[in-house]
């Protein structure tokens, strides 16, 4: 690890002020710190944003659930508001990493990092989320740009993620046995106006699977997924799973998600 | 007095470990210490054209940078292979030089190029980034299967062949095969494993120029052996001025047997700069440069008669030993492997051929079980297949072929002294509720799961090893063990063992032996190991040898203490030594009520005379003091055996396999502490399930290690295991005074075939280790296709 300055901000404004070209915001640090330790990344300043009060609330209404960006996975998993309004989201949070990661890692950090196999990006897409930053509101459909790439500009800070409360929803994950990240994660949400199906772990970036969305819109049942042909074109292929296997597992996970919706 | 032997006594050492008070090498910090970081090769195979350290040397905090140049010019010797194997053409094995720092060429990713020594670790790492190495990259040789057909890595080592080893009678075996009713064939791969001890390797070289003494603190399973190798072959420092300390060590599994390049270089460098040099591996360095395990491909054939009797066995194995021949790398796939392929079956003829090949991968050496898991995997897989092919019940096929009379001279090497294989088979069948398996299978089917059951009836050769035998087949050292039992004047006992505990619980088990033998309370016994300056020369811990060999040495030393004690007690009690009985810590004069406790006798040995109240004269001719040493050399290997039965459930939709039931019934001979043994069995099985379902050391075509972190190398976790039912049968070993056979490796030896046979039983198709979800899913698919096509 190369040494750096450690600063703590108590407001978004202060965090932005402290931010310079060679700094990074530090929330849970579950990805950032390993990257620094492995010398894959180096910063002059790390700005701790966990002390910013405005980033740590959970607010639920009948239509939406807004979660502060510095909320840990463990807090989401055990939040009464979350469990009541979007139980599948609480379950998703409960399945991220291990207890240590869940107690440190944050929802904002996960989304800003946009790991191709992370769970939260799938939730954002499926639950038609809006990403609130210090500058603007970004719809999830436009937020996730590519591998570890988002629409965030340098020095822009996520303040909250606002999810649409679905009629019903479910997230199923086929974990990598080593890392326990998703080899395939499928989030299905029946929203007021549409059905959304988000898939993570499969391509370089989370995506919506329009084929399954259409099939489920026609008939929201497990059997409607059977006849879909998922092409493995462009899917990740690695030592843990080939593209073809991932294509197969998408259907298995999607059916499981429908059955647990 | 309740016997300490066979008691579930809580481990004495656990308090410090569980409260964070273990003292590991990385916890040691010395005055004026420097920090080392190694520049490693990023290439699997390359010529070193130039190493430029000019810029790096000027980096802040740098004390010194050494390269292969200095190592070579100082004539520091290479790391050695300690066991010479002779090929079938009568020629000695071929091994390349293995310099601690490469000078001309690097041969695997992680190979050592330079050591950067600085005031802080960060400064060392910063400078290491500035070391400019020019490489000429060559095509790497990676795969076990085609290494012999690839370009030779080393000049003078054709076909990358280290040796071409044979064992057995080819003609007799061919005769058996020609009279067979059926020949069963199988191609198998034994996957490469990365050891992953919880504590990464570490070392500190500490040279004292005033006394000319060199101390090396290191994570070693055998500090004396490391000192011998570094002194005699490395030429680092004379043995009598060289101290090697292996303090608390957090697991080894074989990977910490060997003196590594880092040990040699840190020790040597501390002499050069006259300051302590500390190196602690990062986990990624452990992945790259700890010796790996297994990595075989094998073709096996079994000749059987229609009634199920096995009459012959033929095996062709290619063993990948990596870029260099590590210390035990050559014995692991030969004498620790080939003789054991016979399993615990009465097989009259066998012929084994093992070709060991060099590749541009990390060196492969002994890893928990060392050769015996590979042997057990192949015999148990082919036995499973053979029983299936002739339609015999798995248990009955095995029962029919078991060795039943002891001692039994096998057709290859071993003379098995004792065992009762039917006993552990029957016990395992009962505990596992074998007869109701079909019911459980139907229950699983209702959940959409395929359930399978797999057997592994295994044997291993432990208690390594009778020196005369091993030296006659190429071993460069004797494999005896030492012990010193020292009474202190106040009646407590210090026990020095040449074995080394890095998780095995020696502090407790050895104290139980001494407590039982001498009648001294456990709390008055201290077991000391891991420091060449303290105890006598010892050979260390590996090959499930600590109890059978090291424990026997302790027992022998105790017996010598009693012998001397009888002379002293006789004098004190005014009798003859032959009239003294020793029982539960008391020396008793026969036919009298006169006795002396062993503490009183010890006291007399240290205060031999009369002074006031003290009246403890020694008999004439008896030296003062009460301390005895024993070097115990076993007369034979010991042969633990057992039956493991595994049940798995396979998800048809995904291919995921879960071990749902596991039964282990082992015969370890006499058990000293059943609780410690149970822990050893659990750990071994966990590693075996890891090998069968999860772990795989994977290099890509260019020789880059793809599974170089826990993101990709699947270490099994608690939720991968079922409750494991452990039980025992006992036939004492006849080859050592304790009757113990060894238990440390059994779980890792027995379990991979039990798990794989269960998977194969569940899906009705063959699959290789690790049986990952996708592989199993593909095998199910292919099998369904075959079924529908038929």
pLDDT digits (tens, 9 = 90+) for B310-328: 999 999 999 999 999 999 9
Task: Using CA coordinates, name the residue in chain B closest to A178.
Answer: B714
- As a whole number, mean pLDDT of residues B364-379 equals 98
pLDDT digits (tens, 9 = 90+) for A31-42: 999 999 999 999
Distance CA B491, CA B600 (A): 7
Domains of chain B: 14-138+198-251+256-289 (3.90.1170.50), 370-458+637-789 (3.30.365.10), 480-632 (3.30.365.10)
Q: In terms of pTM, does the model score above 0.95?
A: yes
pLDDT at B594 over 70: yes
At residue B460, φ and ψ (nearest 5 deg) are -140, 160
Judged by CB atoms closer than 8 Å, whether chains meet at B654 and A174 is answered as yes
Closest by Cα among B6, B11, B4 to B670: B6
List, in order, residues 6 or more apart from B169 with CB less than 8 Å away: B349, B350, B351, B411
A1 touches chain B (CB under 8 A): yes
Distance from CA of A90 to the nearest CA of B (A): 21
pLDDT tens digits, one per residue of B217-258: 999 999 999 999 999 999 999 999 999 999 999 999 999 999
Q: Work out the average pLDDT over A28-33.
A: 95
Which positions in chain A touch B714 (Cβ < 8 Å)? 177-178
Identify the DSSP state of B434.
G
Predicted confidence (pLDDT) at residue B43 exceeds the cutoff of 60: yes
Cis peptide before B463 (omega within 30 of 0): no
Distant-in-sequence, close-in-space partners of B88: CB < 8 Å, separation ≥ 6: B164, B165, B166, B353
Find the angle CA(B50)-CA(B153)-CA(B84) to the nearest 5 degrees.
Answer: 115
Mean pLDDT score across all residues of chain A: 96
CB contact under 8 A, B694 and A177: yes
- Other beta carbons within 10 Å of B72: 16
> Per the omega criterion (within 30 degrees of 0), is the bond before B608 cis?
no
Would the pLDDT of B1 be above 60? Answer: no
Are residues B714 and A245, on separate chains, in Cβ contact within 8 Å?
Answer: no
Q: Which tens digit of pLDDT belongs to each residue from B129-172?
A: 999 999 999 999 999 999 999 999 999 999 999 999 999 999 99
B693 pLDDT band (50/70/90 cuts)? very high
Q: How far is CA B749 from CA B543, B573, B644, B723, in A?
A: 12, 53, 10, 19
Q: Rounded CA gap, A147 and B317, in Å?
A: 43
CA distance A109 to chain B (A): 19
What's residue B787's pLDDT? 65
- Tell me if A39 and B710 make a contact (CB, 8 A cut-off): no
Q: Given this model, what pLDDT does residue A236 score? A: 97
**Does A1 have pLDDT greater than 80?**
no
- β strands within B360-510, DSSP E: 408-409, 415-416, 449-459, 481-487, 493-497
CA distance to partner chain B, nearest, from residue A223 (Å): 15
Portion of chain B with pLDDT greater than 70, in percent = 99
Put simply, whether A242 touches B (Cβ < 8 Å) is yes
Residue A38 to residue B777, Cβ atoms within 8 A: no
CA angle A45, A48, A54 (to 5 degrees): 140
User: Nearest Cβ partner of A177 from B653, B706, B714?
Assistant: B714
Backbone angles phi, psi at B282, to 5 degrees: -85, 160
Q: How far is B126 from chain A (nearest CA, A)?
A: 8
Q: Write the CB contacts of B418 (distance below 8 Å, at least 6 apart in sequence).
A: B406, B407, B639, B669, B731, B732, B733, B734
Minimum-distance CB partner of B698 among A179, A181, A239: A239
Give me the pLDDT at residue B609, please: 84
Convert the pLDDT of each residue in B720-774 to its tens digit: 999 999 999 999 999 999 999 999 999 999 999 999 999 999 999 999 999 999 9
Confidence band, pLDDT 50/70/90 cuts, at residue B2: low
Q: Is B773 on the interface with A (CB under 8 A)?
A: yes
What pLDDT is attached to residue B784? 77
Partners of residue A245 in chain B, C-beta under 8 Å: 774, 777-778
Averaged pLDDT for residues B692-697: 98
B7 at the A interface (CB within 8 A)? no
User: Please, what is the average pLDDT of chain B?
Assistant: 96
Please answer whether residues B112 and B102 qualify as being in contact, where contact means their C-beta atoms are separated by less than 8 angstroms.
yes
Query: Does residue B657 sit at the A interface (CB-CB below 8 Å)?
Result: no
Touching check for B772 and chain A: CB below 8 Å?
A: yes
pLDDT digits (tens, 9 = 90+) for A225-254: 999 999 999 999 999 999 999 999 999 999
Distance from CA of B694 to the nearest CA of A (A): 8
* A3: contact with B, CB 8 A cutoff: yes
> By the CB < 8 Å criterion, does A240 face chain B?
yes
What is the DSSP annotation of B132-166? EEEEEE-PPP--TTTGGGSPPSSTT-GGGEEEEEE
Report the pLDDT averaged over residues B385-394: 97
- In this prediction, does ipTM exceed 0.85? yes
* B29: Cβ contacts below 8 Å, ≥ 6 apart: B278
pLDDT tens readout for residues B374-384: 999 999 999 99
Partner-chain residue, chosen from B654, B712, B778, that has the shortest CB–CB distance to A178: B712
Domain boundaries, chain A: 5-48, 53-259
d(CA B456, CA B382): 11
- Would an 8 Å CB–CB cutoff place A38 in contact with chain B? yes
* CA distances in angstroms from A259 to A169, A170, A215, B240, B457, listed in the order given: 10, 9, 15, 72, 43
Q: Which of residues 64-103 of B touch A (CB under 8 A)?
A: none
Class of domain A5-48: alpha beta
| Contact call for A3 and B711, based on CB within 8 A | no
Question: Domain spanning A53-259: which CATH class is it, in words?
Answer: alpha beta
A64-122: pLDDT as tens digits: 999 999 999 999 999 999 999 999 999 999 999 999 999 999 999 999 999 999 999 99
Strand-pair partners of B297: B189, B318
Record: contact A179-B710, CB cut-off 8 A: yes
Q: Which residues of A touch B35 (CB under 8 A)?
A: none
**A180: closest CA of chain B, how far (Å):** 8
Whether residues B654 and A242 touch (CB distance < 8 A) is answered with no
Phi first, then psi, for residue A66 (nearest 5°) are: -110, 125
Chain B contact present for A120, CB below 8 A: no
Q: Using CA atoms, how far apart are residues B548 and B543, in angstroms rounded to an integer?
A: 10
Q: How far apart are CA B598 and CA B602, in angstroms?
A: 6
Token pair in block for residue A232? 């493995």
Q: Which residue of chain B is at minimal alpha-carbon distance from A179?
A: B711
């Amino acid at each position: 690890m190369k040494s750096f300055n450690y600063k703590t901000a108590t407001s978004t404004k202060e965090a932005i002020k402290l931010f310079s070209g060679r700094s990074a915001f530090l929330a849970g640090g579950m990805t950032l710190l390993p990257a620094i330790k492995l010398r894959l990344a180096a910063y002059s300043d790390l700005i701790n944003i966990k002390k910013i009060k405005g980033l740590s609330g959970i607010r639920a209404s009948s239509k939406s659930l807004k979660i502060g960006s510095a909320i840990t996975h463990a807090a989401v998993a055990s939040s009464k508001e979350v469990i009541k309004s979007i139980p599948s989201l609480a379950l998703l949070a409960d399945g991220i990493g291990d207890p240590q990661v869940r107690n440190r890692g944050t929802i904002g950090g996960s989304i800003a990092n946009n790991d191709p196999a992370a769970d939260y990006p799938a939730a954002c897409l499926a639950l038609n989320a809006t990403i609130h930053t210090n500058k603007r509101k970004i719809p999830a459909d436009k937020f996730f740009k590519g591998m570890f790439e988002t629409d965030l500009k340098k020095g822009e800070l996520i303040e909250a993620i606002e999810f649409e409360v679905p009629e019903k929803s479910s997230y199923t994950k086929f974990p990598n046995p080593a890392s326990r990240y998703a080899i395939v994660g499928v989030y299905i949400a029946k929203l007021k106006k549409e059905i959304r199906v988000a898939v993570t772990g499969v391509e370089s970036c989370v995506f919506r699977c329009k084929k399954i969305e259409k099939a489920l819109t026609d008939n929201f049942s497990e059997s409607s997924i059977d006849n879909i042909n998922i092409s493995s074109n462009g899917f990740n292929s690695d030592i843990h799973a080939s593209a073809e296997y991932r294509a197969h597992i998408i259907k298995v996970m999607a059916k499981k998600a429908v059955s647990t919706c | 007095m309740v016997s300490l032997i066979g008691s579930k006594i809580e481990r004495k050492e656990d308090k410090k470990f569980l409260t964070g008070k273990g003292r590991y090498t990385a916890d040691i910090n010395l005055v004026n210490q420097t920090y080392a970081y190694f520049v490693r090769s990023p290439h699997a195979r390359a010529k070193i054209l130039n190493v430029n350290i000019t810029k790096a040397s000027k980096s802040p905090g740098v004390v010194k940078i050494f390269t292969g140049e200095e190592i070579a010019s100082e004539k520091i010797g290479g790391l050695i292979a300690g066991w010479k194997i002779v090929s079938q053409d009568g020629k000695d094995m071929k091994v390349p030089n293995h310099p601690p720092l490469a000078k001309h060429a690097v041969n695997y990713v992680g190979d050592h190029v330079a050591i950067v020594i600085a005031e802080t670790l960060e400064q060392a790492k910063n400078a290491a980034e500035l070391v400019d190495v020019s490489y000429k990259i060559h095509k790497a040789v990676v795969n076990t299967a085609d290494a012999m057909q690839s370009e030779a890595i080393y000049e003078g080592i054709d076909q990358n062949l280290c040796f071409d080893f044979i064992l057995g009678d080819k003609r007799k075996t061919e005769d058996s095969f020609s009279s067979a009713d059926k020949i069963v064939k199988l191609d198998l791969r034994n996957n490469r494993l990365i050891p992953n001890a919880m504590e990464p390797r570490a070392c500190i070289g500490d040279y004292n120029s005033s006394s000319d003494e060199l101390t090396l603190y290191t994570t070693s399973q055998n500090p004396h052996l490391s000192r011998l190798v570094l002194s005699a072959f490395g030429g680092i420092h004379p043995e009598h001025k060289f101290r090697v300390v292996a303090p608390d060590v957090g697991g080894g599994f074989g990977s910490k047997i060997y003196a590594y390049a880092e040990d040699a270089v840190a020790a040597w460098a501390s002499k050069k700069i006259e300051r302590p040099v500390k190196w602690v591996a990062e986990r990624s360095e452990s992945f790259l440069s700890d010796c790996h395990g297994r990595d075989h491909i094998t073709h096996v054939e079994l000749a059987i008669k229609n009634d199920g009797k096995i009459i012959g066995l033929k095996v062709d194995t290619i063993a990948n030993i990596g870029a260099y021949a590590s210390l035990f790398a050559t014995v692991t796939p030969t004498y620790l492997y080939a003789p054991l392929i016979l399993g615990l079956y009465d097989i009259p003829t066998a012929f084994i051929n093992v070709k060991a090949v060099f590749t541009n991968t990390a060196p492969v050496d002994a890893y928990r079980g060392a050769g015996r898991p590979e042997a057990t995997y192949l015999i148990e897989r082919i036995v499973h297949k053979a029983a299936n092919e002739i339609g015999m019940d798995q248990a009955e096929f095995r029962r029919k072929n078991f060795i039943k009379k002891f001692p039994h001279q096998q057709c290859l090497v071993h003379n098995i002294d004792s065992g009762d294989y039917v006993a552990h088979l029957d016990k395992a069948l009962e505990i596992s509720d074998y007869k109701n398996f079909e019911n459980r299978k139907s229950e699983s089917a209702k959940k959409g799961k395929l359930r399978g059951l797999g057997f592994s009836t295994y044997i291993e050769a432990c208690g390594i090893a009778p020196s005369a035998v091993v030296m006659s087949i190429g071993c460069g050292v004797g494999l005896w063990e030492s012990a010193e039992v020292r009474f202190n004047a106040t009646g407590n006992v210090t026990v020095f063992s040449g074995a080394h505990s890095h998780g095995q619980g020696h502090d407790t088990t050895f104290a139980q032996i001494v407590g039982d033998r001498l009648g001294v309370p456990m709390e008055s016994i201290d077991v000391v190991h891991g420091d060449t300056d303290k105890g006598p020369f010892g050979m260390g811990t590996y090959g499930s040898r600590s109890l059978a060999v090291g424990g026997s040495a302790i027992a022998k030393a105790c017996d010598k203490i009693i012998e001397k004690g009888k002379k002293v007690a006789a004098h004190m009690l005014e009798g003859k030594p032959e009239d003294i009985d020793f029982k539960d810590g008391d020396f008793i004069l026969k036919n009298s009520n006169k006795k002396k406790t062993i503490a009183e006798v010890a006291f007399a040995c240290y205060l031999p005379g009369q002074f006031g109240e003290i009246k403890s004269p020694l008999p004439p001719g008896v030296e003062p003091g009460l301390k005895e040493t024993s070097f115990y050399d076993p007369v034979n290997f010991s042969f633990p055996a057992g039956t493991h039965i595994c049940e798995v459930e396979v998800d048809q939709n995904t291919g995921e396999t879960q071990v749902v039931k596991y039964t282990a019934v082992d015969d370890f001979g006499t058990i000293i502490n059943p609780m410690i043994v149970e822990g050893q069995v659990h750990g071994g099985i966990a590693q075996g399930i890891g090998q069968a379902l999860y772990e795989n050391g994977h290099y890509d075509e260019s020789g880059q290690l793809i599974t170089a972190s826990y993101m990709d190398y699947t270490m099994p976790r608690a939720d991968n295991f079922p409750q494991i039912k452990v039980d025992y049968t006992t036939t004492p070993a006849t080859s050592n005074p304790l009757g113990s056979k060894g238990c440390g490796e059994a779980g890792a030896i027995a379990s991979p075939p039990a798990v794989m046979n269960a998977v194969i039983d569940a899906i009705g198709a063959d699959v290789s280790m690790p049986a990952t979800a996708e592989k199993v899913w593909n095998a199910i698919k292919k099998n369904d296709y075959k079924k529908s096509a038929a």
